[in-house]
Amino acid sequence: MRLERDRHVAFAFAAADLLIEAGIDGRIIAASGAAQAVLGLGVDTLPGQSVLDIVAIPDRRLGHRHLGQIRRLGRIDPSVMRLARPEGASVRVLFGGCRLPSTMDRVFLSVTVLPATLTATEPPRDVATGLLTREALQDVASRTAADGFGGRQLQLMQLDGLSGAARQLPPDRAATLMEEIGAALRILSVGGDSAGRLTEDAFGIVTKAGDDQGHDAALVADISEALRAAGVSDGRIGPRMARIDLSQSGLSDGDAGLALTYAMSSFVASQGNGFTIHSLQDGLSAAVKATVNRFAETRRIIAAGEFDLVYQPVVGLSGRAVHHHEALSRFPGNANTFETIVFSEDMGLVAELDLAVCRRAIEALDENPGVTLAVNLSGRSVQNDAFRTSLAALVKPLGELRRRLLFELTESAAVDNLEDAATFLRWLRGLGHAVCLDDFGAGAAAYSYLRRFDVDFVKIDGPFLQAAANGTRERALIRSICVLCREIGSQVIGEMIEDEAGAALATTLGIGYGQGWLFGKPVERLSKPASTRSATVRRRTGEVETWQ
């Protein structure tokens, strides 16, 4: 008996940093383990305290629900929670618990500190509920779907009128209501921290595939109870829910995670556009099926090369000579190019697409001596190590042809890993490729990119330039961008120049190159240039000879 007891104790400490025995009321009876390291308290100070006293304030309602679940169900899956420390900080832990049939008046809790690599950055949260933001939930959904522990479901919940009702409540009751809703959603999610607020009245929860509808009924009951406790009349806000299960979709776990994030984005985008919650389940099921089919078809199109390139000229505004052409993708069935690329970015296909376009562009350069081409690289691609390795292998053998291949970094997807992306772009320039920063003025990250990336060209976003025709502010901003680019050695291209008035405006503002229908629409065949000499690019400093 003693050996068996010691064996179980050893197993417990192998899996946890701190063990707590508490009464059914949550009052700590005994504790053992690294309480000082976890909580900053001696283990002998814990008996007599409530378990909730050691839980960080933002997670106390979640802790209360966990204790209730242990009492009701007998155990909980390990869940992410924050515990309080005396200095005011908190520590993220896995919090587990169970009851034993022989001691039904006790609960046994385990606390395991999460590794620093998992807790270095606290995910962004909705202030009112403590839930993850939409972006953070999408990231979690993508990762948990690929964690190898079985399929995942995305549960979406709409609480029409919640935000309006909360604003009519006294502040303390409104705060309690939102915290209770957050705790009710978190406790049903994978790992206890896979629930998020998508809009003011819409929420998402990542749950295990196969969770039965009893969870839905329990969630509705919890939400209804929280609303009544806050003073919201029965029937005023009715939770409406739907589930998406990708376990039978045929997608790999990683691709299923991407589909979950895409479904969330589609759900949010549908709000206020004729969206009815009554058709949510059918609509989401159809949307996911369409997404899965589109994912497979888009991957097939890329692998088979069943897309075309068209070429639009970029000219010097002073003499109208063609400097280079931009290679633009076109997809079967007249599919919208921008939307297809955004879909490819969201579903993790854009690196494959960018490589395929680069291969096709290199073939076009071989067939058209003297022509210079620019190809687009997504921000998602340049921060993908596998893509960087593949593109490096593709361009290393090019020799002098590389002087005729430019790369445009697009801003349809944000670059988060700026350092790695900057190193890779410097490496490309060191080989002899010119680099262009596309869509300048279309997003908030443009100046940050210009500060971090060495580029030869900056392309002014077309709508931004067109707005300058009647906008004093836009003209001043573009003029200042041109001055800045001259000082750092970058040249400026203006997009969407459609008439001579637009060309004259661009020249007046200091833009040296133009692209738009005035100079030529995208064409399927490249015309022979007047001279076979490669376009000369004014180089900036900061080139490197190797990339690792």
In terms of average pLDDT, the best of 30-44, 107-121, 286-300 is 30-44
What token pair was written down for 313? 């000229």
Position with higher pLDDT, 527 vs 381: 381
Contact by Cβ (8 Å): 294, 343: yes
pTM over 0.85: no
Kindly state the average pLDDT of the residues 137-148. 67
Q: What is the 3-state secondary structure (H, E, C) of 72-85?
A: HHCEEEEEEEEEEC
277 pLDDT more than 50? no
Distance of CA 224 to the CA centre of its chain: 32
The proportion of the chain whose per-residue pLDDT surpasses 70, expressed as a percent, equals 80
Angle at the Cα of 122 from the Cα atoms of 54 and 270, rounded to 5 degrees: 115
- Quickly list DSSP for 449-509: HHHH---SEEEEPHHHHHHTTT-HHHHHHHHHHHHHHHHHT-EEEE----SHHHHHHHHHH
Contact 403/534 with Cβ under 8 angstroms? yes
By C-alpha distance, which of 288, 250, 254, 267 is closest to 141?
254
Residue 286: CA count within 13 A, CB half-sphere:
5
Angle at 520 (CA atoms; ends 517, 525), nearest 5 degrees: 140
Q: Which residues pair with 459 in a beta bridge?
A: 493
8-state DSSP, 120: S
Q: In the predicted model, is pLDDT for residue 3 greater than 60?
A: no
Compute the average pLDDT of residues 72-93: 87
Interval 521-539 mean pLDDT: 64
Domains of the chain: 2-118 (3.30.450.20), 124-296 (3.30.70.270), 305-515 (3.20.20.450)
Q: Is the pLDDT of residue 188 over 80?
A: yes
Position 146 pLDDT exceeds 80 = no
Contact 195, 215 (CB under 8 A): no
**Which pLDDT value is given to residue 504?**
96
What mean pLDDT is predicted for residues 139-161? 70
The pairing of strands 18-23 and 103-113 is antiparallel
pLDDT at 450: 84
The pLDDT mean for the chain works out to: 83
The token pair at 165 is: 């009702």
Residues across the chain: 548
460 within 8 A of 492, measured Cβ to Cβ = yes
What is the maximum alpha-carbon separation in the chain?
Answer: 94
- pLDDT band, residue 173 (cuts 50/70/90): very high
- Structural contact between residues 188 and 69, judged by C-beta atoms closer than 8 angstroms: no
Confidence of residue 215 (pLDDT cuts 50, 70, 90): confident
* CA 448 vs CA 320, 445, 460: distances in Å: 31, 5, 15
Q: Is the pLDDT assigned to residue 276 strictly greater than 50?
A: no
Q: Which of 111-125, 271-285, 288-302 has the highest mean pLDDT?
A: 288-302
What are residue 311's DSSP bridge partners? 327, 523
pLDDT of residue 390: 94
Q: State yes or no: pLDDT of 252 exceeds 70.
A: no
Question: Over 70: is that where the pLDDT of 476 sits?
Answer: yes
> Between 171-186 and 60-73, two packed helices, what is the crossing angle to 10 degrees?
50
* C-alpha–C-alpha distance, residues 252 and 151, integer Å: 10
Select the more confidently predicted residue: 337 or 234: 337
State the DSSP code for 124.
P
DSSP-assigned letter for residue 404:
G
- Please report which confidence band the pLDDT of residue 542 belongs to, taking 50, 70 and 90 as the band edges: very low
